[in-house]
Copies of this chain bind each other. A is one copy, B any other.
Amino acid sequence: MDPLDEVLEGHHATAYVAVGSSLDGDIRYLTQFRVSDPIIFIKKKGAPGAIVVSSMEYERAQRESIAQVISRNEAGFFEYLKEDPNNRPRATARMIASLSGGEVVVPANFPLGLARELEAFCQVTVDRDAVQGMRAVKSSWEIAQIRKVQNAAEAAMAIAIGLIERSRPSQGILILDGHSLTSERVKVAIHTRLIEQGCTARDTIVSCGTDSALPHHTGAGPLLPHEPIIIDLFPQDEATGYYADMTRTVCHGEPSPDIVEMYWAVKEAKKITANAIRDGVSGADLHLKVVQFLSDQGYESNSQGFMHNLGHGIGLDVHEKPVLGPGGDLLKPGNVFTLEPGLYYHEKGGVRLEDVGCIVNGGFEQFTKFEERLVV
């Protein structure tokens, strides 16, 4: 049975409805249509999924989407709009209600404004997990897409680390080809290599020294010798929408003994976790295992030390189900997720290593092949 039909049956509803552009992972998953303005997805029980699009997108949607395509015109939108020309949400709600023909189920991120209008015509029930749960278990096609983006990420990581490796320290900063090797310069090189492979990335991190102690500091200015440099990139394949995610920490020349120890602990924590992964172990337990191991090494897990989740599912969103952290889900075959232990101290800097992989045959199959080498 179609999983959305099961959801509808569970709620005694007639249609599942979602709204968004393809930036919304659910919408991209359900439609496989790349579109920058919001479209409406409607799946009635027993029928295939359908999307309602503007006439401008109609023919392209028919070519590209796996969903059936209905134009707003066909769906009566402009007739409904005539009744109250200044209230487009009302007309949209009437159209959805008419296409659905009864009670609807929507995801948790369904826009409240539209829901309020829709409630005038039909009952609206939120199902938090329906599509999120479907998305968490990847098909072999999806796994192939994520592996492909991961390969692109590794090619870009190699470029980034190569620049650091080829640089030379001078007056306290790294110099390459006569100019300061900055975070910005490394990011341009990463993004250029990604683009050549059909991928884009935003918020890429190349942070150095004390900046690296803030996990999401994207980095700025000259890179320094003997200081940890965290490189974290999460590109998206433009054509398919799938993400990869990886992090390496490197240092030009010997870092402080603290950083060497932190690196060892993070690397070991990741290895121990990867070996402990089985069907049915929970993301919460894996996270706790890392907290415990790092605690045994003398590192805390609060506002310093290990201060974020162990990992996260990845697919059409960078962060999706399953959660590998407090409250985290039971892991299942087909889950694709990251493992990214890290340690952060204001006065010392940060260390993070991140791989991506999948549960197959009861264990963890790691997609990331990139070497782990602190000193370059």
Q: Which residues of A contact B (CB under 8 A)?
A: 23, 34-37, 54-60, 85-86, 88-89, 106-116, 124, 126, 128, 184, 188, 191-192, 195-196, 198, 200-203, 214-218, 238, 302-303, 307-308, 318-319, 327
* Residue of chain B at shortest CB distance from A110: B112
Partner of A60 from the list B23, B107, B214 (CB cut-off 8 Å) is B214
Partner of A106 from the list B106, B112, B124, B216 (CB cut-off 8 Å) is B112
User: Nearest Cβ in chain B — how far from A338, in angstroms?
Assistant: 14
Cα of A57 to Cα of B89 in the assembled complex, Å: 35
Which residues from chain B contact A198 at a C-beta distance below 8 Å? 184
Other 4 A-B pairs with CB < 8 A, given A109-B111, A192-B192, A202-B238: A37-B319, A55-B303, A112-B126, A113-B128
By CB atoms of chain B within 10 A, which of A35, A58, A124, A200 has the most? A200
* Residue of chain B at shortest CB distance from A119: B112
Which residues from chain B contact A59 at a C-beta distance below 8 Å? 214
* Residue of chain B at shortest CB distance from A204: B238
Number of chain copies forming the complex: 2
Cα of A175 to Cα of B70 in the assembled complex, Å: 39
State whether A55 touches B307 (Cβ < 8 A).
yes
Cα of A240 to Cα of B199 in the assembled complex, Å: 22
Partner of A57 from the list B54, B108, B216, B318 (CB cut-off 8 Å) is B216
User: Nearest Cβ in chain B — how far from A152, in angstroms?
Assistant: 13
Q: With A188-B195, A200-B200 known to touch, is A128 a contact of B216 (CB < 8 Å)?
A: no
20 A-B Cβ contacts within 8 A?
A23-B23, A37-B319, A57-B216, A58-B303, A60-B216, A86-B327, A89-B128, A107-B113, A108-B112, A109-B112, A111-B111, A112-B112, A113-B128, A184-B198, A191-B200, A192-B195, A200-B200, A200-B201, A200-B202, A203-B238
State whether B108 touches A318 (Cβ < 8 A).
no
